[in-house]
Structure 1
Amino acid sequence: MTYLALARKCRPQKFSEVISQEHITKTLSNAILAGRIHHAYLFSGPRGTGKTTTARILAKSLNCANPKGAEPCDQCPSCRDIINGVSPNVLEIDAASNRGIDDIRNLREFIKYSPVGGKYKIYIIDEVHQLTSEAFNALLKTLEEPPAHGVFVFATTEPQRVPLTVLSRCLRFDFRLLPFSKIAEFLQRLCDAEGVKIEPGALNLVASKAEGSMRDGLSLLDQILSFGEKKISLEMVTSTLGIMDRETLFGLSEVIFERESGKALKIVNDFALSGGSFELLATSLQEHLRNLLFAKVAPDIGELLEVTDKDLERYRELAEDYEESDILRAINLFSELEITLKRKTSEPRIATEITIVKAASLDRTVKIEKILKQLSSQPSPLSLRASLNQAQMDLMSEGSLSGTTEPQKEVGAQKDVTPSVEVETKEEREQIHITEQQKTEVSPPATDSLSLDAIKDRWGEFVDRLKSQKYRVSAKNSRPIELKDNLLVIGVPNSGAKFIFEKSKDKSAVDRAIRETFGEKLKVSFKILGGELKQQERERKRATATDLKEVLEKEKDVREILDTFGGEVVGFIPKENKKKKD
């Protein structure tokens, strides 16, 4: 007999054998017992979750000659024909290859005939979303008015691509991904039945790579069993399937977070020499860092991590050393790397190594709570002084209680204690001096030391100290015009600038900038100058033009032109203005 793949050999034959789809199998079983058979069902869900298998079990149950409740007997001719795929009452169509209108027309002709040796004719259309629009339209009439013996079962992984007119005529059942633990448990029973011993780590790795699909898990196990060994180790699984083992991932993540780029690059090089895929490296690191993140934010929810108990504990211990933000930034880097590699970059190794170095160069995050806790654990100067004073009092009390202590010795003891007190007193004096100095810097001195010219000279520094953009623009176009009796009068170009300074919610920003720039606390008033500022600007430009005229007349080339043509310099046009006139 030819070899049968595990995915076909281990296909469930009864509703009770379908794993983790109880919400569907129980509903179908109760409907069969109650005789509430609908004419159309839609089974949707990820690949390998049991859609087509459940459709075949439903077909067997509907036509079984000796049902056991809602379960088929698997012994009657109808059940055996369906199992062997030769039943005249069950037509299974792959819509990916039979998707045209002609195929649906043939189906409509076939459904007219009554079933042979059974109650129903069942039409299972797999990947129904692959049908063309014309084929769906041809199917609608049959779905609206089906024959009494006709039952349609549609299976799809993309229900959103099925027209609403078809969806509205079907009972929809959504299949779920299988839990990691259920897949691992089933694979373990299968290995026991095959007489193969598999390590827990290897079993969990296969179940994890199945990603909720039982068919994928069986295919991976089939590939490993083809190796011919009766004992399956973790190393065998990683080498056969080309999967990164957990130890390599732990080692790589640790050296990345410890900022040891050289060691990280060596691990990547060893992985590349072993024939590993860089895209697999990026994907595996994302999954590994995701487990680390979950162990950090939800350490009590172990079922979120598809790992062994030993690895789970290791994730929890490792997560204590890192912050969530560090892990998230690393995940983002490797997510971008995966996108880059999927675009078929010409240098995948260089892209991977650069990302590894980037990840290892990220600064570690330190929470402010941790810093404050460290600061609070250090003794303050006041507590230190109190401790020293208490030690001095203890020494003095010991000396006074001792009846044999001579006066000279008491004096000596006092001298021994005094230096430590003097040292502390000196530190205190320095601290007081610093505090007084800070107060002196903040408190404004007398205004006699500040002149209007000094303010004009440092006006640009005052403008730079203003943090608000609107303040800086207004102050840049303004000028200090008068300083008298601690009152600084600032000339502003227009009423808008005056409104900004006087009506703003944060008027203290101007006072603060004045105090920080000029070292004094001044009262401020604003005066609209308008024309005066423009006149000052015109005079400045006129003076500049006069100076340039004198400079030009002294130039040798200009002098020769003037002498040759008997001309004189009457003015000049700046380069940018000349372009505008031209």
Structure 2
Amino acid sequence: MAYQALYRVWRPQQFIDVVGQEHVTTTLQNALLQQKISHAYLFSGPRGTGKTSAAKILAKAVNCEKAPTAEPCNECDACRGITDGSIPDVIEIDAASNNGVEEIRDIRDKVKYAPNVVKYKVYIIDEVHMLSIGAFNALLKTLEEPPKHVIFILATTEPHKIPLTIISRCQRFDFKRITAQAIVGRMKQIVEESGVDCDDKALQIISRAAEGGMRDALSLLDQAISFSQDRVTIEDALTVTGTVSQNFLNQLARAIHERNAAAGLEALEELLLQGKDPARFIEDLIFFYRDMLLYKAAPALEESMERVMLDDDFQELANQVEPAQIYELIEVLNKAQQEMRWTNHPRIFLEVAIVKLCQLETQQPSSNVQVEPLLRRIEQLEEKLAQFQQNPGMAAAGEPAAAAKKAPRTNRKGFQAPTGKINEVLKSATKTNLHTIKGRWGDLLEMLAANQMRSQAALLNEAEPVAASDEAVVIKFKYEIHCQMAMENTRFTETVSGAMNDYTGKRIQVIGVPEDQWLKIRENFISQRGDGASEGQAAAAEDPLIAEAKKLFGDELIQIQD
């Protein structure tokens, strides 16, 4: 037979070979020994973490001639037949290419027949989330109550796409990403038994590039072995994975720390000449600073490092860089990474990011300069306060200062409603306009809440329209501070005005007025207009009887009905 890829040759044949999923394999082994096998399982998790391999091992274990056993023997006819695929009772289905209703109906029709060779008929459906809704519906009843001789094992990388009705009928096992240390251990075992000479650091580079997938790691290792001559070196691993070397990252980080933009750009130019992908490089640089931050917070957690190895250069540089600087560096790099996704010239953004990183101001010295004068100023104020307490008569000498302090208070008059604009609205206000706006007031509040403006909608809970013309509406607020907050929020006034336009077909200006000011403005308007005020204007300015009743009994006890 032709050459087989490493991940196929070294596919796990026992639960003990499934790396990094002890929480799954231990549970399945205990269930096998206690003969508590479920009728349906759901294996979910990232790619290359052992889902399909565990499914085949489980199929062999339940059909092994030595059952009940925690591990398949891989020696009996059943185990060997399931391994080489010659037993028709273990059926593997790729849901990506067999996702229709007809394929599932075929399973449903054949599932009632007893197995031909072994004890259990096992259906392994890979990438089950690719099934159509109709296929899922066809599978429902069979999956819930299959015959006693049938076991379903569903595998998926995207469990959120599977209907809950399917998930609830299965025992779910979540496979997790395999740690870099576990991947390195498995690869060491493989290269030793294969007789391949490989550098340990090269294995670490490959394991980190695999991002938690054993199949990806073995594929990269296979590629590195083919690329290398006699020994898989660090350079071979870096070339195959496209990862930037640790020395280069240390060199570039040193240039950034020393604010040497020329050295940083030279290093970047060298990297790009080697054919490295700018997007992959900026990702490596982000993880480099992420690992540096974790190292400063918890130096003992070496396993949590994603990209770096704790060599002397890295540790020396990490001790010189402050956490606040790392936060800024990561923020700039993350912004550049987002911009690079939407451009045809990612190199430009990368170069700009390197220059910007080299020009970031160090925060620590500036903070020291600011603290000293503040401390001296505090000491002076404490001395003056002590002198004043000992001799209150000195207050006369401080009258100018006191007057200066009181001046801002006298200028704070609070919110003043635009009386002139309100009077203009009252001159042309009509009862019809007011009723139209009041009728859509609840819709306005719901619209504000739906547009993520709940705080603005809360301001209108204690407000109501009291006068409306064709050009403007006067909104009365119970509290002055609410009125001020609403009227000073440009987005709020524009949103309310736009909503009024939708409701009335007219672009209406919004004018806010506190309740106490509204009562005075309305009374002054009625007294100035006298009998000449029209019926609509009087209605828009509220009925005097209603206003008098509110004065006597309060707004809470008054209910107005037309």
| Structure 2 portions without partners, runs of 5+ | 374-379, 388-393, 417-479, 482-562
Structure 1 pair 225–105 and aligned structure 2 pair: CA distance change class (3 A): same
Shift of 1:79: 1.6
Paired amino acid for 1:120: Y
Please, what TM-score do these two structures have when normalized by structure 2?
Answer: 0.66
User: Within the alignment, does 1:55 sit opposite 2:41 as a pair?
Assistant: no
Match of 1:329 in 2: 328
Paired amino acid for 1:350: I
Query: Does the residue aligned with 2:320 lie in a helix, a strand or coil?
Result: coil
Q: CA-atom RMSD, angstroms? A: 3.4
Shift of 1:120: 0.7
Partners of 2:43 and 2:84 in 1: how far apart? 22
Whether the 8 Å CA contact 1:204–1:308 is kept in 2: the answer is no
Q: Trace 1:194-213 onto structure 2 (pairs within 5 A).
A: 194-213=194-213
Q: Across the two proteins, how many residue pairs are aligned to each other? A: 403
Match of 1:273 in 2: 273
Match of 2:3 in 1: 3
Match of 1:349 in 2: 347
Shift of 1:90: 0.8
Shift of 1:241: 2.8
Q: Trace 1:359-508 onto structure 2 (pairs within 5 A).
A: 359-366=357-364, 474=413
Whether the 8 Å CA contact 1:295–1:315 is kept in 2: the answer is no
Partners of 2:228 and 2:253 in 1: how far apart? 34
Partners of 1:297 and 1:367 in 2: how far apart? 22
Deviations 1:357-393 (A, max 9, x none): 1111111121899789999xxxxxxxxxxxxxxxxxx
Shift of 1:316: 3.2
User: Within the alignment, does 1:248 sit opposite 2:278 as a pair?
Assistant: no
Deviations 1:549-573 (A, max 9, x none): xxxxxxxxxxxxxxxxxxxxxxxxx
Structure 1 pair 166–198 and aligned structure 2 pair: CA distance change class (3 A): same
Deviations 1:501-523 (A, max 9, x none): xxxxxxxxxxxxxxxxxxxxxxx
| Structure 1 portions without partners, runs of 5+ | 376-431, 478-498, 501-582
Q: Which is further off, 72-81 or 142-151? A: 72-81
User: Within the alignment, does 1:14 sit opposite 2:14 as a pair?
Assistant: yes
Query: Does the residue aligned with 1:255 lie in a helix, a strand or coil?
Result: helix
Shift of 1:473: 5.3
Structure 1 pair 472–326 and aligned structure 2 pair: CA distance change class (3 A): farther
Shift of 1:474: 4.3
Shift of 1:196: 2.2
User: Within the alignment, does 1:339 sit opposite 2:341 as a pair?
Assistant: no
Structure 1 pair 67–147 and aligned structure 2 pair: CA distance change class (3 A): closer
Q: Trace 1:67-216 onto structure 2 (pairs within 5 A).
A: 67=67, 69-216=69-216
Query: Does the residue aligned with 1:107 lie in a helix, a strand or coil?
Result: helix
Paired amino acid for 1:108: R
Match of 1:358 in 2: 356
Deviations 1:45-96 (A, max 9, x none): 1111110000000011111223482221212222222111232101111111
Q: Trace 1:518-537 onto structure 2 (pairs within 5 A).
A: none
Whether the 8 Å CA contact 1:200–1:308 is kept in 2: the answer is no
Whether the 8 Å CA contact 2:250–2:313 is kept in 1: the answer is no
Deviations 1:440-480 (A, max 9, x none): xxx888799x9xxxx9xxx9xx69x97x7x765549x9xxx
Shift of 1:193: 2.0
Identity score, percent: 41
Match of 1:318 in 2: 317
Match of 2:231 in 1: 231
Match of 1:390 in 2: none
Match of 1:217 in 2: 217
Partners of 1:367 and 1:14 in 2: how far apart? 60
Match of 2:36 in 1: 36
Query: Does the residue aligned with 1:93 lie in a helix, a strand or coil?
Result: strand
Structure 1 pair 250–447 and aligned structure 2 pair: CA distance change class (3 A): closer
Partners of 1:319 and 1:79 in 2: how far apart? 53
Shift of 1:31: 1.1
Whether the 8 Å CA contact 2:60–2:78 is kept in 1: the answer is yes
Deviations 1:102-140 (A, max 9, x none): 110111122121101211110001111111111111100
Structure 1 pair 45–143 and aligned structure 2 pair: CA distance change class (3 A): same
Whether the 8 Å CA contact 1:101–1:135 is kept in 2: the answer is yes
Shift of 1:300: 2.6
Deviations 1:376-426 (A, max 9, x none): xxxxxxxxxxxxxxxxxxxxxxxxxxxxxxxxxxxxxxxxxxxxxxxxxxx
Partners of 1:304 and 1:373 in 2: how far apart? 37
Deviations 1:245-276 (A, max 9, x none): 11111111111122111111111111111111
Structure 1 pair 357–109 and aligned structure 2 pair: CA distance change class (3 A): same
Paired amino acid for 1:102: E
User: Within the alignment, does 1:285 sit opposite 2:301 as a pair?
Assistant: no
Paired amino acid for 2:323: E
Whether the 8 Å CA contact 2:92–2:124 is kept in 1: the answer is yes
Structure 1 pair 308–284 and aligned structure 2 pair: CA distance change class (3 A): closer
Query: Does the residue aligned with 1:226 lie in a helix, a strand or coil?
Result: helix
Match of 2:456 in 1: none
Match of 1:64 in 2: 64
Deviations 1:425-448 (A, max 9, x none): xxxxxxx9xx99xx9xxx888799
Structure 1 pair 149–156 and aligned structure 2 pair: CA distance change class (3 A): same
Whether the 8 Å CA contact 1:40–1:170 is kept in 2: the answer is yes
